[in-house]
Amino acid sequence: MLDDRKLAVLRAIVEDYVSTNEPVGSKALAERHNLKVSPATVRNDMAALEEEGYITQPHTSAGRVPTDKGYRLFVDRLSQIKPLSGAERRAIETFLAGAVDLDDVVTRTVRLLAQLTRQVAVVQYPTLTRSTVRHVELVPLTERRVMLVLITNTGRVEQRVIELPEVVEDTRIAHLRAVLNSCLDGCGLGNVPDLVADLPERLPAEDRPAVATILSVLLETLVERHDEKIVFAGAANLAGAGFSVGLRDVLEALEEQVVLMRLLGETSTDTPSALTVRIGSENAYTGLRGTSIVATGYGSGDNQLARLGVLGPTRMDYPVTMGAVRAVARYVSQILAAS
Amino acid sequence: MLDDRKLAVLRAIVEDYVSTNEPVGSKALAERHNLKVSPATVRNDMAALEEEGYITQPHTSAGRVPTDKGYRLFVDRLSQIKPLSGAERRAIETFLAGAVDLDDVVTRTVRLLAQLTRQVAVVQYPTLTRSTVRHVELVPLTERRVMLVLITNTGRVEQRVIELPEVVEDTRIAHLRAVLNSCLDGCGLGNVPDLVADLPERLPAEDRPAVATILSVLLETLVERHDEKIVFAGAANLAGAGFSVGLRDVLEALEEQVVLMRLLGETSTDTPSALTVRIGSENAYTGLRGTSIVATGYGSGDNQLARLGVLGPTRMDYPVTMGAVRAVARYVSQILAAS
DNA sequence: ACTTGGCACTCGGGAACACAGAGTGCTAGA
DNA sequence: TCTAGCACTCTGTGTTCCCGAGTGCCAAGT
């Protein structure tokens, strides 16, 4: 059905359309990519490709434009991820190396990715549940209030102010802190609920109300942050990239954490470290027709911490974009593993 | 030069133009606002106003449009800040009350403000230098690394991982922590450099290298974060508000922390708690012609912590916007003061 | 069985043009 | 000082027309 030449034609159409943003006709195609066949032949192939739904024409007597299905085939079988240039690699490295804390890493990453791809970059903060506890701190503020600080191995810090049901002396707080740390240090956040379950019983009865309050806040912190923080950058690139229509919808989606989350995460089930590409209508979110998402997981080794990616018009340069996303994910993973 | 009726005409022009987004002509004006004079008279007044530079016409035989100078006069003398409705007040209150930590307060505030004004909201994180130290924590990670955590009275938490020049026992770390806390607790961040200046000399000689390292990181944290964090929300509102041209520039400005900072802060010198309005070209930043900024300081009592505001097209509804900004600033200040 | 050249057909987009309508400036009169 | 009337000047819109890019199809060539 689709012989090699037809595939070559499809590839050529995608490449041309991506670079010119104009429907591409048979003549120009036959010239630019030396296909060694006549425009008429190309037309026949195009007709076949259109029949199969890989390309379409905006109106009669205009050139052809790839459909989502066409891009899909291109990404899956006709393109190779393009590695970054040496200069780009070095730029990434030095730019990310300067980060001072987790916030900074994420901020720098998202900017870097936006600049590199000239599209909108999206980065999810490392997921809490897969990280481990590095330290728990209880800081007395007044005699009825303490601040709970939870530090994870990824450098993330969560804090909450807790109102205690009764006055608790500082020494008791200190004791509780010691117990908590000995109990939780190094444990995965997912295990915390189990580990602290019997804690109240192991402590003096008079402390139990306070302990219960503190623990409930601690657990709350864990589940609450399960819906994670996401940041984006490079919105200005949308305005440039001949988007115009639907721009409002895209911006709205970007500011809606939940939507963004779903977009990044939807395909993370099987092999999180693989690049996932969702093209146009595959996104199943109205208003994001016309945009594609290239995403991947990042994190040290096999425990993927979170995801990052870029969002741009369906007519993006997939090989380059995929190369950039993959490279950035790797570098960030390195940075996080090292710290 | 400008009698009362001319001012009334200007006010009417601004109001009409803001609500219709179309140049307003003499006839429509005389009808809609019962000025009790004929269109011809209005035309005369318009001619005078144009002479003075308060309004302009896009082209001959079109209606008039306010200039930046016209908006300025309107804001300064012809309008009254419009208070929010009771329902809006309650909405703000309940929405902000649910915040769990500083991050959450800021995030909610910026979203709230964006939604309330239907424009781009900008919020600066509370400034470190004006807050006070609530607690300093040193958490041993390995024998050569500690994590420094700085907690301020606004609930802000800064952390840094420090590589020590030599192995330091946990007990010494604990001692140092105690000293630091007794020394800094409750002090303004601005005073920290002075307060810790002679600290190394007051400690055992063998600890000095480690102490020096820790202090340098601490001080670094203070100055580094002096250029503050800023967040924005509601970019989608730009796309809606008949902006079209220059949108890219605006988005770029929004993502440029430094620029944003300057825009918010530029007029904060005299009375920080007052509303400041910068209209169009007053912003002196190319690409932000066509946008106005309404900002104000927030924070408990007389020590203003930071600034927040909104950014929108010059043809915005100033009375309403100003009302919303002022109200939100007040509520946020309350929330911060309470926690 | 493909490929190719030729040819008629279709449509979008730009240029030229006319025209209605809104809005103005000016002048003369109340 | 305000008002009414009037001539004038624009923009925006609709119409028409035409060019050209691009297509689909057919018949001939390899």
Task: Work out the angle between the directed axes of helices B4-20 and B39-52 (0-180°, nearest 10).
Answer: 90
Range name among A165-174, A222-231, A246-255 with the lowest pLDDT average: A222-231
Nucleotide nearest to A27 (CA to C1'): D22
Q: What is the pLDDT of residue A112?
A: 97
Task: State whether B236 and A224 contact (CB < 8 Å).
Answer: no
The rounded distance, in Å, linking the Cα atoms of A26 and A63 is 7
Instruction: Identify the residue among B149, B163, B177 best suited for mutation to test binding to A, counting A beta carbons within 10 A and taking the highest.
Output: B149
Residue A279: count of CB within 10 angstroms of its CB: 22
Q: How confident is the model at residue A22 (pLDDT cuts 50, 70, 90)?
A: very high
Count of H helices and E strands in chain B? 13, 10
Q: Which two tokens stand for residue B315?
A: 């043809």
H or E element that contains B214: helix B208-224
Residue B203: count of CB within 10 angstroms of its CB: 15
> Which DSSP string do the residues of A94-141 spell out, in sequence order?
HHHHT--SHHHHHHHHHHHHHHHHTSEEEEEPPPSTTSBEEEEEEEEE
Q: What is the pLDDT of residue A113?
A: 97
Q: What is the pLDDT of residue A90?
A: 95
Given a contact cutoff of 8 angstroms between Cβ atoms, the answer to whether B289 and B282 are in contact is no
The rounded distance, in Å, linking the Cα atoms of B68 and B26 is 20
Q: What is the pLDDT of residue B112?
A: 97
User: Would you call B297 helix, strand, or coil by DSSP?
Assistant: strand
B64 CB less than 7 Å from any atom of strand C: yes
The rounded distance, in Å, linking the Cα atoms of B94 and B110 is 15
H or E element that contains A196: helix A192-196
Q: How many residues does chain A have?
A: 339
- Tell me the pLDDT tens digit for each residue of B266-301: 655 566 678 999 999 898 888 888 899 999 999 876
DSSP at A37: S
The residue assigned the tokens 């945009």 is A291
Among the ranges A221-230, A244-253, B113-122, B208-217, which has the highest mean pLDDT value?
B113-122
Partners of A4 in beta bridges? none
User: Would you call B80 helix, strand, or coil by DSSP?
Assistant: coil
Query: Does the pLDDT at position B216 exceed 80?
Result: yes
- For residue A251, give the nearest of B159, B239, B339 by CB distance: B239
Average model confidence (pLDDT) for chain B? 87
With beta carbons under 8 A apart, name residues in chain B contacting A137: 137, 139, 149
The rounded distance, in Å, linking the Cα atoms of A68 and A73 is 9
- Tell me the pLDDT tens digit for each residue of B229-265: 899 999 999 887 666 567 889 999 999 988 888 888 7
Residue A171: count of CB within 10 angstroms of its CB: 9
Given a contact cutoff of 8 angstroms between Cβ atoms, the answer to whether B63 and B50 are in contact is no
The end-to-end CA distance of chain A, in Å, is 53
Asked whether the CA dihedral B267, B268, B269, B271 is positive or negative, the reply is positive
Query: Does the pLDDT at position B25 exceed 80?
Result: yes
Q: What is the pLDDT of residue A245?
A: 63
Mean pLDDT of A247-276: 82
Taking the CA of residue B161 and the nearest CA in chain A, the distance in Å comes to 8
Given a contact cutoff of 8 angstroms between Cβ atoms, the answer to whether B324 and B91 are in contact is no
Taking the CA of residue A210 and the nearest CA in chain B, the distance in Å comes to 19
Q: What is the pLDDT of residue B247?
A: 85
- Tell me the pLDDT tens digit for each residue of A144-174: 888 888 888 777 788 888 889 888 888 888 8
Q: What is the pLDDT of residue A51?
A: 94
C-beta contacts of A178-183 below 8 A and 24+ residues apart: A179/A203, A180/A136, A180/A138, A181/A135, A181/A136
Q: What is the pLDDT of residue A243?
A: 66
Q: What is the pLDDT of residue A127?
A: 77
Task: State whether B248 and A234 contact (CB < 8 Å).
Answer: no
CB of B159 within 8 Å of a chain A CB? The answer is yes
CB of A240 within 8 Å of a chain B CB? The answer is yes
Query: Does the pLDDT at position B128 exceed 80?
Result: no
Angle (nearest 5°) at CA B338 between B335 and B339: 90
- For residue B159, give the nearest of A101, A235, A239 by CB distance: A101
Given a contact cutoff of 8 angstroms between Cβ atoms, the answer to whether A266 and A297 are in contact is no
Sheet with B157-163, edge to edge strand ranges: B133-142, B145-152, B157-163
Mean pLDDT of B4-24: 93
Task: State whether B157 and A161 contact (CB < 8 Å).
Answer: no
Q: What is the pLDDT of residue B287?
A: 83
Q: What is the pLDDT of residue A320?
A: 97
Q: Which two tokens stand for residue A7?
A: 């595939």
B5-40 burial, b if ≥16 CB within 10 A, otherwise e?
ebbbbbbbbbbbbbeeeebbbbebbbeebebeeebe
C-beta contacts of A269-275 below 8 A and 24+ residues apart: A272/A296, A272/A297, A272/A304, A272/A307, A273/A297, A273/A302, A273/A304, A275/A81, A275/A322, A275/A325, A275/A326
Mean pLDDT of A204-215: 86
Q: Cα A302 to the chain's mean position, in Å?
A: 17
Q: What is the pLDDT of residue B301?
A: 63
- For residue A157, give the nearest of B159, B239, B247 by CB distance: B159
Task: Work out the angle between the directed axes of helices A257-265 and A247-255 (0-180°, nearest 10).
Answer: 90
Mean pLDDT of B80-92: 95
Contact residues for A115 (Cβ-Cβ < 8 A; gap 6+): A234
Q: Which two tokens stand for residue B115?
A: 């939604």
Range name among A6-10, B198-202, B287-291 with the lowest pLDDT average: B198-202
Mean pLDDT of A57-70: 93
Given a contact cutoff of 8 angstroms between Cβ atoms, the answer to whether B112 and B96 are in contact is yes
Percent of chain A with pLDDT over 90: 46
Mean pLDDT of B147-152: 85
The rounded distance, in Å, linking the Cα atoms of B67 and B85 is 30
Residue A162: count of CB within 10 angstroms of its CB: 18
The rounded distance, in Å, linking the Cα atoms of A148 and A159 is 5
Mean pLDDT of A75-81: 95
The rounded distance, in Å, linking the Cα atoms of B84 and B272 is 22
Percent of chain B with pLDDT over 70: 94
Q: What is the pLDDT of residue B318?
A: 97
Q: Which two tokens stand for residue A223?
A: 């589940």
Q: Which two tokens stand for residue B273?
A: 């708690």
Closest listed residue to residue A187, CA positions, set A136, A126, A124, A127: A136
The rounded distance, in Å, linking the Cα atoms of B37 and A295 is 64
Query: Does the pLDDT at position A71 exceed 90?
Result: yes
Residue A106: count of CB within 10 angstroms of its CB: 22
B24 CB less than 7 Å from any atom of strand C: yes
Q: How confident is the model at residue A263 (pLDDT cuts 50, 70, 90)?
A: confident
Contact residues for A269 (Cβ-Cβ < 8 A; gap 6+): none
Q: What is the pLDDT of residue B170?
A: 84
Q: What is the pLDDT of residue A255?
A: 92
The residue assigned the tokens 């911006």 is A251
The rounded distance, in Å, linking the Cα atoms of B32 and B30 is 6
Query: Does the pLDDT at position A244 exceed 60?
Result: no
Closest listed residue to residue B91, CA positions, set B112, B118, B122: B112
Query: Does the pLDDT at position A268 exceed 60?
Result: no
The residue assigned the tokens 């305005």 is A239
- Tell me the pLDDT tens digit for each residue of A295-324: 999 987 656 678 999 999 999 999 999 999
- For residue A160, give the nearest of B100, B161, B236 by CB distance: B100
CB of A2 within 8 Å of a chain B CB? The answer is no
Q: What is the pLDDT of residue B28?
A: 86
H or E element that contains A41: helix A39-52
Where is pLDDT greater, at A47 or B152? Answer: A47
The model's pTM: 0.87
Q: What is the pLDDT of residue B321?
A: 97
Angle (nearest 5°) at CA B193 between B189 and B196: 110
Q: How many residues does chain B have?
A: 339
Range name among A11-15, A198-202, A313-317 with the lowest pLDDT average: A198-202
Percent of chain A with pLDDT over 70: 94
Question: Separation of CA A60 and C1' C16 in angstroms?
Answer: 26
Q: What is the pLDDT of residue A85?
A: 96
The rounded distance, in Å, linking the Cα atoms of A313 and A17 is 12
Q: How confident is the model at residue A187 (pLDDT cuts 50, 70, 90)?
A: confident
Query: Does the pLDDT at position B212 exceed 60?
Result: yes
Question: Separation of CA A109 and C1' C5 in angstroms?
Answer: 56
Percent of chain B with pLDDT over 90: 44
Asked whether the CA dihedral B245, B248, B249, B254 is positive or negative, the reply is positive
H-type alpha helices, chain B: 4-20, 26-32, 39-52, 68-73, 86-97, 102-117, 170-184, 192-196, 208-224, 235-240, 247-255, 257-265, 318-338
Where is pLDDT greater, at B202 or A273? Answer: B202
Burial class (CB in 10 A: 0-12, 13-18, 19+), A238: buried
CB of B148 within 8 Å of a chain A CB? The answer is no
Question: Separation of CA B67 and C1' C20 in angstroms?
Answer: 30
